[in-house]
Structure 1
Amino acid sequence: MEERSDIWKGRITNETDGTLYYYQHVKELSNHDIVRGSVVLVGYNFDEGVRRNQGRVGAADGPDQIRRMLAKCAINEATPAIYDFGNLFDQSSYLHDAVQSVEKAQNRLARTTERLLNEDAWVINMGGGHDMSFGTALGLYRAYPDQKIGVINFDAHLDLRRSTMGVNSGTPFYQILSELKSLSYLPIGIQKETNTKDLFKTAQDHGVNIIYDDDSELDSKQSFLEMLEGFLNEMDIIHLSIDLDVFSSSYAPGVSAPNPIGVHPKMILRLIKNIIGTGKCKAVDIAEMNPTYDLDDRTARLAARIICKIIDALG
């Protein structure tokens, strides 16, 4: 990651104004002990899984670009302590070393997530390829071994590809269901046109209910809200995963797999508020932020606003 001064910066204010923006509020974790109940940002600056899945590479630069946009956002009186763990990988060596694997990257994220959860932190993992979700889930699984954990994934894709040919950004939820068998999975925003019949068969075989992108229309709103509420009520712990390609490319052009038709951000934000409001959500990952293809930082700004809304909902 770049020097902190090059990432966390924003509008200059008068000294009497105090702390008004995220760039003034966020602290580097290396210099502080974690405050109980604080939020920790972790960068999964890794997109080898995207390349393996034949997507557009560039998401390795996503975490820092999200930070740049988050730095400019305003805090409020209820904003908790926030720490920046930094990025997990040295791009000059780790990311370009053919010996390294997606599996190792996932395990490193899992260890970091588990450690932070055990220190009573609230974790936001920023990516990076969606293969990160298995790392987040594995960390939760280890930190809460006796709890019923549910994974809610806002995504246009099921990401249930079988990992027999190597894990990638299309396999994380198959990994979760096959390796962490006690976890449950609810995908929201799925598009029928971009998921094969084999993926739907895998979902059916694992008893996965699906909320499709067109289920957010008013005529079916009540039914999908009831499905979400039922899922939330059944779980002790929630892992929330947000793939930015769930949104239309008019809102989120900077992703690994652009989406011409997606769910409106306001709908997702309302659902996120409900999910965080249960008090059950302990970790979030935001995946597939790809600055290479972003326009006017739309996608990075959207990711930053989502993080702000999540943190506000914690208060």
Structure 2
Amino acid sequence: MNLLLNQRDLYTKGDQVVWKGRIDGEQRDWMRWHQLMECTDLLSDPDLKQSVVFLGFCSDEGVARNQGRVGAKDGPGAIRNVLANLPVHFSSELKIKDAGDILLKDSDLGSAQLTLGYALSSILKAGGFPIVLGGGHEVTYGHYLGIKDFLADGGHRIGIINLDAHLDMRTLTGGQGNSGTGFFQIEADRKGMKQPFHYLAIGIQEISNTSGLISYAKSKGTQIIERKDLISDKFNAIKKQIEAFASEVDYIYLTVDLDVFAAPYAPGVSALAFNGIVPDDLFFDLYDVITGLPNLRSMDIAELNPSFDIDTRTAKLAADLIFKFVNRF
């Protein structure tokens, strides 16, 4: 049974109208993504083998609860607008598909996250590689729920790599989750299942996390690579650490919070990082290591806030991350 049917009011299928743009020709070498994008309905149990499948998560409720700048609910549309005009360089054996959006209604974040989980699990079960377009970083807990449902037996080891200035491992406020509690919720769930918690956070900044939170995260086994350590002299050591982390798990989920990047490159985010990562050759070498992991099974891009973007810089950076991954898929 497709559990997404139970939450169908929070799901809208892919819409071909969204995918439009410049046309340079009809031969593949001249095409752009909008010409090859196929829209699909997850309620119809589609075949998604050999497909990268995009799914929007239109929520910034968690950001609002976390006292951040709201607007990330419009992130999926902004990313799609840039993706539409990207040139086609990926393999002809690969298909790109848009599975639509998960919506938020009545500030009910829990239902939206659960629906995201059902949708993501549906994509994985149908053989697709899901890329979730956020949306606030509350996307993480919903994404995890989908992986958990897909793996089902509870015995698989899940590893999460988070590119982020923040650890997002704060305790719940008034019993409610937000954009900064995802990893706290995941750790608690893994503990309740008597399963290990595998979390590697890259790009963390001391200025963005209390010392208590850093100590708490480490006490739960979190591996932390700080922003200041992302230098060429340490690249090989970091590469080995990432590969060793991946070798300990069965499933790797990559989440990219765009506030990990320096403000000039990513001004359109919920929580600005003035001194974040510069998306230069060193960073993309590191990104290649992560996206080349053989057990990477899903990813998401979080915290794009078009309300604060300048010249669509942040949306273009998000699209470039996706572009580079799809081209090597």
TM-score by length of structure 1 reads: 0.92
Given the alignment, which residue of 103, 106, 111 partners 2:113? 106
User: How far off its partner does 1:16 sit?
Assistant: 5.0
User: How far off its partner does 1:270 sit?
Assistant: 2.3
Q: Distance in 1 between matches of 2:82 and 2:90?
A: 20
- The yes-or-no answer on 1:124 pairing with 2:131 is yes
Instruction: Note the 1:99-248 alignment, pairs <5 A.
Output: 100-144=107-151, 145-165=154-174, 166-181=176-191, 182=195, 183-248=197-262
Q: Decide whether aligned partners of structure 1 residues 17 and 148 sit closer, same or farther in structure 2, where only a CA change above 3 A counts.
A: closer
3-state SS in 2 of match to 1:163 = coil
Q: Which letter does structure 1 place at the counterpart of 2:264? A: S
Deviations 1:221-269 (A, max 9, x none): 3332222121012121100000000000110000000111111223343
Instruction: Kindly indicate whether the alpha-carbon contact (under 8 Å) linking 2:15 and 2:100 is maintained by their aligned counterparts in 1.
Output: no
- The yes-or-no answer on 1:49 pairing with 2:76 is no
Q: Decide whether aligned partners of structure 1 residues 189 and 131 sit closer, same or farther in structure 2, where only a CA change above 3 A counts.
A: same
Instruction: Note the 1:60-99 alignment, pairs <5 A.
Output: 60-78=73-91, 80-89=94-103, 94-95=104-105, 97=106
Q: Distance in 2 between matches of 1:113 and 1:262?
A: 30
Indicate the residue corresponding to 1:299 in structure 2.
Answer: 314
TM-score by length of structure 2 reads: 0.88
Indicate the residue corresponding to 1:13 in structure 2.
Answer: 24
* Aligned-residue RMSD, C-alpha: 2.0
User: How far off its partner does 1:177 sit?
Assistant: 1.0
Q: Distance in 1 between matches of 2:73 and 2:212?
A: 29
Q: Distance in 2 between matches of 1:309 and 1:187?
A: 21
Q: Which letter does structure 2 place at the counterpart of 1:127? A: G
Q: Decide whether aligned partners of structure 1 residues 115 and 19 sit closer, same or farther in structure 2, where only a CA change above 3 A counts.
A: farther
Q: Distance in 1 between matches of 2:161 and 2:215?
A: 19
Q: Distance in 2 between matches of 1:132 and 1:223?
A: 30
Instruction: Kindly indicate whether the alpha-carbon contact (under 8 Å) linking 2:58 and 2:72 is maintained by their aligned counterparts in 1.
Output: yes
3-state SS in 2 of match to 1:85 = strand
Deviations 1:126-182 (A, max 9, x none): 100101011111211221233211000000000010125310000001111111333
Unaligned residue ranges in structure 2 (runs of 5+): 1-11
3-state SS in 2 of match to 1:193 = helix
Given the alignment, which residue of 4, 16, 23 partners 2:34? 23
3-state SS in 2 of match to 1:88 = strand
Unaligned residue ranges in structure 1 (runs of 5+): none
Q: Distance in 2 between matches of 1:21 and 1:32?
A: 27
Instruction: Report the number of matched residues.
Output: 307
Q: Distance in 2 between matches of 1:219 and 1:28?
A: 44
Q: Distance in 2 between matches of 1:282 and 1:55?
A: 29
Q: Decide whether aligned partners of structure 1 residues 32 and 69 sit closer, same or farther in structure 2, where only a CA change above 3 A counts.
A: farther
Q: Decide whether aligned partners of structure 1 residues 71 and 271 sit closer, same or farther in structure 2, where only a CA change above 3 A counts.
A: same
Which stretch of structure 1 is more off in the superposition, 62-71 or 277-286? 277-286
Which stretch of structure 1 is more off in the superposition, 259-268 or 200-209? 259-268
Indicate the residue corresponding to 2:71 in structure 1.
Answer: 58
User: How far off its partner does 1:33 sit?
Assistant: 3.0
Instruction: Kindly indicate whether the alpha-carbon contact (under 8 Å) linking 1:138 and 1:180 is maintained by their aligned counterparts in 2.
Output: no
Q: Percent identity?
A: 39
Q: Distance in 1 between matches of 2:115 and 2:300?
A: 15
Indicate the residue corresponding to 2:291 in structure 1.
Answer: 276
Which stretch of structure 1 is more off in the superposition, 151-160 or 200-209? 200-209
Q: Which letter does structure 1 place at the counterpart of 2:123? A: L
Q: Distance in 1 between matches of 2:76 and 2:60?
A: 11
Q: Distance in 1 between matches of 2:284 and 2:35?
A: 25
Instruction: Kindly indicate whether the alpha-carbon contact (under 8 Å) linking 1:141 and 1:180 is maintained by their aligned counterparts in 2.
Output: no
Q: Distance in 1 between matches of 2:88 and 2:45?
A: 20
Q: Distance in 2 between matches of 1:149 and 1:19?
A: 40
Q: Distance in 2 between matches of 1:113 and 1:20?
A: 28
